[in-house]
């Protein structure tokens, strides 16, 4: 069952069938509908390979994410996939895991599959983006690259990011203004957004004449237990803190666990702020106040931007989405 069968049955040439298939306007209405009805009748589906061969593209976008089991990224993938599909694109998914080598390999793999663009979802592609940035910059000469929550200023690379700096600055200010003096800051990575977040925290402190002290800023693995352990160690070492801001909800869950186990009242003795407002932040008791980074908007915007790029429009290399602070039970201001 191929284009020839359709053309024969419809009494037209294969070129005409192909034109109908591609919505070419140079086909009379009569012929078009005839061909359509024959296609329906025969249940014809064009062969994507032949089509890809001819067109050099297959309307497929590669999505790379470090770990789809992270609730935040899982959500992102969901929205990206939906939005791509509603624009007529498929998504080829790659979960790379943490290794840089894998990321490279999978990136190459996507290229070799002739995807029309690559979306790097999440901030876990720092090395790809930074240390070795000619890599992506070179690749971007061949096809558009979209960064979700990452930023690299180069032609062909487009970023959609959250206003992490402002969000964190704002939260820190409100914590301080509500009387908190010793705010712990826990983060998972030195990504683009990670750096902005901590900058927001630091500046809020400075702007309120609070010294930024290194003992209050700690990196921590993205897990429910590590942040808890870390806080226990810090508390045991005599560090005083009355609030903790985190770069990810999972760390905040650990903070809640820490508070529970030590009978520390939340938010009175310890305020806790999460980030991403993921499902996790709703599971704990008390529920974690968190920054909603608008994944859905972030992803929708990313895809919209990509479509504009395809359409040849002039497109800003960076789009910023405004986050929302969602007050729940671990803060009160």
Partner DNA sequence: TGTAGTTCTGTAAGCGCTTACAATCTATGG
Partner DNA sequence: CCATAGATTGTAAGCGCTTACAGAACTACA
94 binds, among its own copies, DNA, none (CB under 5 to 8 A by kind): its own copies
Count of residues binding its own copies (CB under 8 A)? 50
280 near its own copies, rule: CB under 8 A? yes
Residues forming contacts to DNA in the complex (CB under 7 A) are: 2-4, 11-19, 21-22, 25-31, 46-47, 50-51, 53-55
26 binds, among DNA, its own copies, none (CB under 5 to 8 A by kind): DNA
64 within 8 A of 94, measured Cβ to Cβ? yes
CA distances from 280 to 7, 41, 260, 271, 287 (A): 56, 50, 16, 17, 9
224 near its own copies, rule: CB under 8 A? yes
326 near its own copies, rule: CB under 8 A? no
242 binds, among its own copies, DNA, none (CB under 5 to 8 A by kind): none
- What is the C-alpha R_g of the chain? 25
* Eight-state DSSP code of residue 242: S
Determine the distance from the C-alpha atom of residue 235 to the mean position of all C-alpha atoms in its chain, rounded to a whole number. 34
Residue from 9, 32, 36, 114 in contact with its own copies (CB under 8 A): 114
In whole angstroms, give the CA distance from residue 43 to residue 243.
63
Residue from 12, 253, 266, 309 in contact with its own copies (CB under 8 A): 253
250 within 8 A of 189, measured Cβ to Cβ? no
Q: How far is the CB of 316 from its own copies (least distance, A)?
A: 28
Q: What are phi and psi of 177, to 5 degrees?
A: -65, -25
In whole angstroms, give the CA distance from residue 43 to residue 28.
22
Using CB atoms within 10 Å of the CB of residue 286, give its burial: 0 to 12 exposed, 13 to 18 middle, 19+ buried: middle
Q: What are phi and psi of 90, to 5 degrees?
A: -100, 165
Residue located via tokens 């919505």:
23
DSSP three-state, residue 24: coil
Helix, strand and coil in the chain, % to nearest 5: 45, 15, 35
Q: Which is nearer to its own copies, 71 or 156 (CB)?
A: 71
Contact pattern from residue 47 through residue 76 relative to its own copies, giving x for each residue in contact according to CB under 8 A and a dash for the rest: xxxxxxx--x-x-x--x---xxxxx-xxx-
Q: How far is the CB of 160 from its own copies (least distance, A)?
A: 18
Q: Which is nearer to its own copies, 46 or 156 (CB)?
A: 46
What residues between 121 and 150 interact with its own copies by CB under 8 A? Answer: none
98 near its own copies, rule: CB under 8 A? no
**Where on the chain is the footprint of its own copies (CB under 8 A)?**
45-53, 56, 58, 60, 63, 67-71, 73-75, 77-78, 81-82, 85, 90-95, 97, 106, 109, 111-114, 224, 253, 256-257, 260, 279-280, 282-285
């Amino acid at each position: 069952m191929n284009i020839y069968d359709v053309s024969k049955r419809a009494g037209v040439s294969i070129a005409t069938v192909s034109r109908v298939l591609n919505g070419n306007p140079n086909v009379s209405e009569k012929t078009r509908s005839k061909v359509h009805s024959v296609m329906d009748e025969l249940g014809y589906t064009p062969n994507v390979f032949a089509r890809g061969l001819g067109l050099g593209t297959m309307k497929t976008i590669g999505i790379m994410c470090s770990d789809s089991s992270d609730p935040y990224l899982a959500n992102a993938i969901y929205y990206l996939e939906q939005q791509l599909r509603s624009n007529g694109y498929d998504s080829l998914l790659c979960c790379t895991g943490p290794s840089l080598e894998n990321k490279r390999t999978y990136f190459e793999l996507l290229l070799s599959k002739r995807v029309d663009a690559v979306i790097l979802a999440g901030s876990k592609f720092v090395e790809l983006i930074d240390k070795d940035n000619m890599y992506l910059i070179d690749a971007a000469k061949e096809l558009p690259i979209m960064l979700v929550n990452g930023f690299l200023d180069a032609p062909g690379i487009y970023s959609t990011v959250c206003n992490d700096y402002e969000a964190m600055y704002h939260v820190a200010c409100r914590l301080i203004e509500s009387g908190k003096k010793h705010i712990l800051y826990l983060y998972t990575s030195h990504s683009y957004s990670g750096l902005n977040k901590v900058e927001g925290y630091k500046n809020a402190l400075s702007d309120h004449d609070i010294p930024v002290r290194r003992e209050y800023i700690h990196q921590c693995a993205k897990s429910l237990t590590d942040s808890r352990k870390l806080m226990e160690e810090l508390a045991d070492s005599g560090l005083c803190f009355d609030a903790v801001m985190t770069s990810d909800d999972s760390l905040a869950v650990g903070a809640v666990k820490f508070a529970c186990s030590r009978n520390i009242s939340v938010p009175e003795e310890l305020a806790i702020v999460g980030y991403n407002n993921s499902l996790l932040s709703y599971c704990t008791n008390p529920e974690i106040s968190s920054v909603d980074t608008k994944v859905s908007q972030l992803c929708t915007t990313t895809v919209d931007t990509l479509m504009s790029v395809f359409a040849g429009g002039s497109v800003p290399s960076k789009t910023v989405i405004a986050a929302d602070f969602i007050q729940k039970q671990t803060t009160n201001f």
